[in-house]
Structure 1
Amino acid sequence: MTKPLIIGVSGASGLIYAVRTLKYLLAADYTIELVASRASYMVWQAEEDIRMPAEPAQQELFWREKAGVSTGGKLNCHRWSDVGDNIASGSFRTLGMVIIPCSMSTVAKIASGLSSDLLERAADVQLKEGKPLVVVPRETPFSLIHLRNLTALAEVGVKVVPAIPAWYHHPQTIEDLVDFVVARTLDTLDIDCIPLERWQGN
């Protein structure tokens, strides 16, 4: 049985990145442990005028509907406040964790070793256990403080994949641009489940 992958969704703009990530991972039959931060609820309200449910069972249905994947894979949603949940323990085996999108506040807290909610605690556990941790920062421009915090994470092995798309694959839609970032993010975990026209050279 494949170990689960933790997906963290922070309060950064760009929830479409999380939605598309779930779409491809669930369609590829992965097991996902998802934790959305408290701030992400406000982002859903601001970007889509949608209220994300707090109850884990209802939230699973919510994410599946947004991703367009009613069956396939396994999705377990966790309350942001439940710091005693299974993904908060180093004994819970995982493939690693991806935080997509990742706010600068979340970057700063992880870089400082702070764990004020389940998302941050799960990320801290990945670091202490030597498990893969990938952050997808969605901010511009970066301040010097942002860059120093990202550098601190990179120095301890965190993969930093900024939400910066490419154009050599001839994107036609916003989803094409998003999918490029999602594919490159999952590449860091050696997960290849997204159709992507990869660079073949001149």
Structure 2
Amino acid sequence: MPSSPDETRVQTLPDPHDDDDDRWELEDGSGLALGEIRTRPLNARDREALVSARSGASGIIGFLGAIALIVAIVFGLVGMYRLDVRVVAAIVVSVVGVLAAVALMMSRQDARLRRDLDAGIQLIVSGRIGDMDSEEGDGPGFVRVLSDETPPRELRFFVEKRLYLRLKPKDSVRIAYVPLSNTLLRLRTDSFSYSLRRKSD
């Protein structure tokens, strides 16, 4: 019988890359007060992870462009012999339009990541996990964090499967993120730590 989502989370093993990171220590050695937001400069490892995320976005944009070109060529050739030119044109425009919209969203995210790298600042805040939403049910998906500020602020992150599986609503967390692209760099609960890695790690 398949395991329930909760059982799956319990069975998920810690990732050795997540627990070797001491970058949570604040420069003055103090803890994070309830509702407090701290800023810290990005270090070399943070920058490498964000640059890797940018490379991934650029690769997707290039891939979508290639697909759009192939679709246009294939339908153009087929249409010359089998379909009405207006039908072919409508199909090509629709497909290319959808791919262009996705590429535009990716290019905007890439620009936000670039601005985060230029700014060189991360924010550190404590809070609790709110709603979790995944089409697959077990990640990847969107996670909302409600900050400990008064009133609480809602932060929404798209997280990979290895993190999604280990979270549950109402978990107390401490997070570090870059604000323009809303990219989660690190997250810590009472039981585990997570850090964004380079694609090659």
Q: Which has the larger radius of gyration?
A: 2
TM-score (normalizing by structure 2) = 0.24
Does 1 or 2 have the higher relative contact order (CA < 8 Å, sep 6+)? Answer: 2
**Higher strand proportion:** 2
Per the normalisation by structure 1, the TM-score is 0.24
